[in-house]
Structure formats: C-alpha cells, structure tokens
Amino acid sequence: MTVDAPEADKRRVADQAYDAIEAMIATLVLRPGAPIVEAELIERTGLGRTPTREALMRLVANGLIVQLPRRGLLVSDIALAEHLDLLEARRVLERLIASTSARRATPPQRQALLEAADAMMATVAADDLAAYMQADQGLDRINHAACRNPFAVAAVVPMVIQCRRFWYAYQHQGDIGEGARGHLALAQAIAAGQPEAAAQAADALIDYLRRFAQQVIE
C-alpha cells in the first residue's frame, strides 16, 4: 500500500491540473489561438511543473491544445464548420454511455446523478453560469464512471470538452434552463434503471446542442 500511495497522490494532482486548465480553456480565460505559457499556468493553478506538463499532454490529445512547429503550444480554434459533425459522432457515444449507465450504475451513483442534476437546476434559479458549468462537468463524471466503459468515455471526453467550450463562447444564444432540464431527465432515467429512456434523454440533449449550434452557425 505504501508503494502505491505516492503514485495515487501524483495522479490526483495531475487531475487537478488538468481540470483547472481545461476550465480556463472552456470558459475562454485562455482564448482560441492564445499561446500556452507553462510558467503562467503553474502560477495560476498553484500546482507543480510535472502535473502541469502531464495535463498539457492530455489536452493536446483531447484537441483543446495544438502543438505547432516553431510556435509551441496554442489553444485550438473553435471549428464552427465541423461542430455539427462532432455532435453526430457524440450522439452515438452518449446513447451508449447513458443506456449502459442505466444498467450498471451502483445505487450511490444513481443518487449522485440525481443530486448533480438538482444542482444544475439550482444554478438556473440563481442564473449562475459558472456554477452551471461546474455542475454539468460533475454530472458527466458520475455518468462516465457509472457506465464502466473506458473506451466509450475516452472517445467522448474530447467531444464533451469541445461542446462545453462552444456553448460557453456563444452562451448568449443558449438556454441553461433547457440544458438543465435535459440533464435532469437523463439523470432520472439512469437512476430508474431505464436504458431506453436514458438513451432517449441523451438524444434529446444532443438535439438541444444541435439546435443551439445551428443558431450560432446561421
């Protein structure tokens, strides 16, 4: 046990660094095209060089950061033209994850999903966009853990992050109330152990994101 503990601690710090930098990109604190300055990120997050570098590598793999010759690391652009294609690919994965979670989630996970969805609804009443996005991220994590399909999760996570950033960039055209209600329906179907209803709720959320994207693009 003593051998594994330092590695587990290291993993948690790397996750913290990843979450912090992802949030900066998703909420446009780090805007598309902005250069990535490692020293500044270390100062902002209060975390070390090793977890920050690991987080940056994961963000490159997820497409939020690009590495260019002679220019280093930059925040990737928001690709309007490709966003609808991304949503259609995400639809398939979200249906799989939702229906699998409905079958495999543990009782504590089912309860946690309902609590996360309730937290999202509370952010609507408070009109708190930052809290809404945090609750959205928390619900996704529970859902991804509950499905116990690491391959589907690894495929969908980069798409989720790109969608979160797209939504934040154009959120003046969005409706957090509709998004929260959609997540509540998803959580309720998973908690009730209803795979088909969960898949339909996942579809409804992608439909909402697609309508939103079409408004932005048009």
Confidence (pLDDT) at 144:
97
Confidence (pLDDT) at 3:
38
Confidence (pLDDT) at 202:
98
Same domain? For 200 and 92 the reply is yes
Confidence (pLDDT) at 129:
82
Same domain? For 115 and 192 the reply is yes
What is the count of structural domains for the chain? 2
Same domain? For 89 and 69 the reply is no
Confidence (pLDDT) at 5:
42
Confidence (pLDDT) at 4:
42
pLDDT beneath 50, residues of the chain: 1-5, 7-8
Confidence (pLDDT) at 26:
84
Give the range of the structural domain holding residue 13, as residue numbers without chain letter. 4-75
Crossing angle (nearest 10°) for helices 150-169 and 4-26? 30
Please give the helix or strand (H or E) that residue 82 lies within, else none.
Answer: helix 80-104
> Which CATH number do you get for residue 124?
1.20.120.530
Same domain? For 67 and 137 the reply is no
Same domain? For 25 and 38 the reply is yes
Select from 17, 40, 75 the last residue of a domain: 75
Same domain? For 43 and 86 the reply is no
Confidence (pLDDT) at 12:
83
Confidence (pLDDT) at 1:
36
Same domain? For 189 and 102 the reply is yes
